[in-house]
Structure 1
Amino acid sequence: MNLFSKIFSKNEPKPAVQEKTPLSLEIGDIVTYNMKDFEVTGKITYRDGRHQLFHYLLFDDSEGKILTASMDEEMKLGIFQRVLPAHHQSFPSHIEYENVMYYKAREASARILGYGSYSRLHGILAKVAEYRDAAGKFLLQLETWGTEQKMMIGYPIEPFELKIIAGKK
């Protein structure tokens, strides 16, 4: 390196590269699941005290999915598909959907932090109930945000089933 290049070179610090995990996804990141690439277009963070649950809206050219992620003693992940709107006034102890009985595993209220396509939900208090079938193979979630309610059906997955590519900022 000669004298002029030392004097005129810019010593700009380079941003540190952060490892992407299912708990740190952002809008624009790419998630590969089941040999398909999905873009993260929406993110909801549910906060209930110290516990956080993340919902990521994933889209490819033909379908959308919802990836859920939380960390208790271990990372818990699920892939969900939105189904017809639910019509429950409260969260019953069990729900039958497509001839499968689901039993309530957890119910909570949480404040929503919404980003991207979910930004309209920012600040709303949501109620969430999680249901499991008897074998623990399938999951069902009911959520209410004021007068709006949604139901999702899915199944648990393992972290190794996902590949994450950071989006451009």
Structure 2
Amino acid sequence: MSFFKRLFKGADETIPETKERTLLNLRVGDFVTYDLMDYEVTGKIHYNDGGYTWDAYQLAGSGKTRWLSVELDDELEVGMYETIRIPGLEPGAKKVTHDGRTYYLEEQGRAYVKAEGRSQNVHGKNVDYYDYTDDSEERFLSVEVWGGDVEVSYGYEIEEYEVTILAGS
């Protein structure tokens, strides 16, 4: 028996193949680099609104938490989001002002979610969502209502090539 077979416990045990990761198949435990910062994928939420689906990956790194949103519509849409607070926000309002910009309600609905990792506490729940965009259509607000809790995130579109992925397993 060769040295490598003994070291890796024989020929009958195969080393599992790691599927190449893309923004559409990230897993909890993978790592991504964006804007010269390294993040670990610590959670994943898969949204389903009547067959229309998208994913949000919770990223943790250097004391920061961000959300990477990935949606395959006619083309791949990728956004980076950070949680913010907007006191007095009424979910579903036609327009919202934040940080000197006005955002307009673009889309709303209710989605069923599957979640894993740090996001597992929302697995199997429904969320009401409200998506807003500014006049330039380059800045976004995402408002999610989980039961009675309102979560607001500020985001912007990024390009797929700006994210580097390293599979964690």
Scaled by the length of structure 2, the TM-score of the pair is 0.89
- Whether the 8 Å contact between 1:86 and 1:150 is mirrored in structure 2 is no
Which residue number in structure 2 is paired with residue 100 of structure 1? 101
Whole-angstrom distance in 2 between the partners of 1:9 and 1:137: 55
The aligned residue for residue 160 of structure 2 is 159
What does residue range 20-59 of structure 1 map to in structure 2 within 5 Å?
A: 20-59=21-60
Aligned-pair CA distance for 1:99: 1.3
Between the aligned partners of 1:63 and 1:10, the Cα distance in structure 2 is 44
One-letter amino acid matched to 2:160: P
**Matches of 1:33 and 1:84, distance apart in 2:** 24
1:66-85 to structure 2, matched below 5 A, reads: 66-84=67-85
Task: Determine if contact 2:113/2:127 at 8 Å carries over to the other structure.
Answer: yes
Change (3 A) 1:164 1:107: same
Q: Which residue of 1 aligns with 2:111?
A: 110
Q: Distance in 2 between matches of 1:123 and 1:131?
A: 25
C-alpha distance in 1 between matches for 2:105 and 2:99: 17
Look up the SS of the partner of 1:21 in the other structure: coil
Q: Could you tell me which runs of 5 or more consecutive residues in structure 2 were left unpaired when the two chains were aligned.
A: none
Report Cα offsets for 1:86-130 as digits up to 9, x if no partner: 644441111111110001111111001111111110111101111
Q: Distance in 1 between matches of 2:77 and 2:168?
A: 23
In the TM superposition, residue 137 of structure 1 has moved relative to its aligned partner by: 1.5
1:125 aligned partner, one-letter code: N
- Name the Cα RMSD after superposition: 2.0
The 1:23–1:86 alpha-carbon spacing in structure 2 relative to 1, beyond 3 Å, is farther
Q: TM-score, normalised by structure 1?
A: 0.89
| Contact in 1 for aligned 2:89/2:96 (Cα 8 Å) | no
- SS of the residue corresponding to residue 27 of structure 2 reads coil
C-alpha contact 1:46 1:110 (8 A) present in aligned 2: yes
Look up the SS of the partner of 1:160 in the other structure.
Answer: helix
Report the number of matched residues. 164
Partner of 2:19: 18
Shift of 1:9: 5.1
Spell out, residue by residue over 1:21-57, the C-alpha distance to the aligned partner (whole angstroms, 9 max, x if none).
1121111100100111100111111111222111111
Determine the C-alpha separation between the residues in 1 that align with 2:19 and 2:84.
Answer: 35
What corresponds to 1:91 in structure 2?
92
Is the CA contact 1:86–1:151 (under 8 Å) kept in the aligned structure 2? Answer: no
Matched AA of 1:133: D
